[in-house]
């Protein structure tokens, strides 16, 4: 290091002229050179490194965006499928051809392969695709599916209200005779078809309609005595027989639970009871199928007796 700190004198001789004397100190020169060239070089190095890093970050960010866009698009595709199901259920027909510029990118015709789109599709395209698709689905939901579904649900609710459901008595009772072939309680023939269920309860117990409908018969005739028939629509009818008193008139609109009459012993009856029938398409059905509550109550009461 010693020679670096010493100063060196360089003598440049020129013909016919004074010689030039240069006095050099190597260390300050080296430091100067290091400062003059080193800093820019280091700076350039840092800049290049940071550009490279930024580039890597951008690529990563781009990849993340692409992945997000792909996820959004496949979620939208799932939504689309669900909306199609809803539309089918609501009775909305599929549009044969979407309107608009045929040259334009049509999101509804874009199907995503399993595992997403290839990475070559720029995320901006994917995102704008997702946005278009999202808007389309929102329109479909608001303008077609929702109103149609509301209609369908209203019709379903109406049908449900018209569906004979539950027990026509709201007090304690017992079932004395089931639907089906039974031995004849009046003894003329050995067996007969019993088209309903018999409920035994105290004379005068209120009898309730098991679904919404219109009273098509309220009269005292034949073997049924004082009886009521309600038409519930959708081919369903119910019949309540042997009543002591009729509480409705023909043509009257009925809600489920309304009192149609009082339990009695009129017509071909061997004691106070309600004979209850459920018909579909004019054919008697086993009312047990419409008395889920009855099985529940019987299970509870038999459990209580144990």
Q: Which of 248, 275, 277, 291 binds Zn ion (CB under 5 A)?
A: 275
Task: Give yes or no for residue 232 binding Zn ion (CB under 5 A).
Answer: no
Q: Where are the alpha helices (DSSP H) in 91-193?
A: 123-140, 146-162
* Least gap, CB of 176 to Zn ion (angstroms): 8
Tell me what percent of the chain is helix, strand and coil, each rounded to the nearest 5: 45, 25, 30
- Assess contact for 136 and 108: CB atoms under 8 A: yes
Task: Give yes or no for residue 277 binding Zn ion (CB under 5 A).
Answer: no
Length of the chain: 306
Task: Give yes or no for residue 198 binding Zn ion (CB under 5 A).
Answer: yes
* Least gap, CB of 290 to Zn ion (angstroms): 16
- Using the contact rule CB under 5 A, the part of the chain among 8-16, 37-45, 218-226, 275-283 near Zn ion is 275-283
- Contacts to Zn ion from residues 246-265, by CB under 5 A: none
What is the C-alpha to C-alpha distance for residues 273 and 262, in angstroms, rounded to an integer?
10
- Name which of 143 and 220 has its Cβ closer to Zn ion: 220
* Least gap, CB of 180 to Zn ion (angstroms): 11
116-137 burial code (b ≥16 CB/10 A, e <16): bbeeeeebeebbebbebbbebb
Task: Give yes or no for residue 212 binding Zn ion (CB under 5 A).
Answer: no
Q: Pull the structure tokens for residue 302.
A: 């038999």
Sign of the Cα pseudo-torsion (79, 84, 134, 103, in order): positive
* Least gap, CB of 273 to Zn ion (angstroms): 7
- Name which of 145 and 167 has its Cβ closer to Zn ion: 167
Residues near Zn ion (CB under 5 A) are 198, 275
């Amino acid at each position: 290091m010693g020679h670096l700190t010493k100063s060196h004198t360089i003598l440049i001789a020129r013909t016919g002229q004074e010689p030039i004397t240069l006095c050099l100190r190597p260390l300050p020169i080296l430091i100067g050179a290091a400062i003059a060239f080193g800093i820019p070089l280091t700076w350039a190095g840092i800049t290049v490194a940071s550009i490279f890093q930024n580039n890597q970050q951008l690529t990563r960010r781009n990849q993340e965006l692409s992945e997000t866009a792909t996820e959004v698009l496949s979620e939208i595709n799932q939504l689309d499928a669900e909306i199609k199901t809803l539309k089918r259920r609501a009775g909305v027909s599929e549009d044969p051809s979407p309107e608009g510029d045929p040259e334009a990118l049509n999101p509804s015709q874009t199907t995503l392969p399993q595992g997403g789109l290839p990475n070559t599709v720029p995320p901006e395209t994917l995102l704008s695709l997702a946005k278009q698709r999202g808007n389309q689905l929102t329109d479909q939901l608001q303008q077609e599916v929702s109103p149609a579904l509301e209609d369908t649900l209203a019709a379903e609710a109406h049908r449900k209200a018209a569906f004979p459901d539950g027990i026509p008595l709201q007090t304690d009772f017992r079932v004395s005779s089931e639907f089906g072939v039974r031995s004849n309680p009046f003894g003329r023939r050995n067996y007969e078809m019993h088209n309903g269920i018999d409920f035994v309860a105290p004379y005068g117990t209120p009898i309730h309609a098991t679904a919404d409908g219109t009273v098509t018969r309220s009269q005292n005739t034949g073997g049924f005595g004082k009886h009521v028939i309600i038409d519930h629509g959708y081919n369903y009818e119910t019949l309540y027989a042997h009543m002591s008193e009729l509480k409705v008139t023909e043509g009257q609109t009925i809600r489920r639970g309304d009192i149609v009459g009082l339990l009695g012993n009129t017509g071909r009856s061997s004691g106070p009871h309600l004979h209850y029938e459920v018909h579909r398409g004019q054919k008697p059905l086993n009312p047990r199928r419409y008395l889920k509550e009855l099985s529940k109550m019987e299970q509870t009461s038999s459990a209580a007796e144990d």
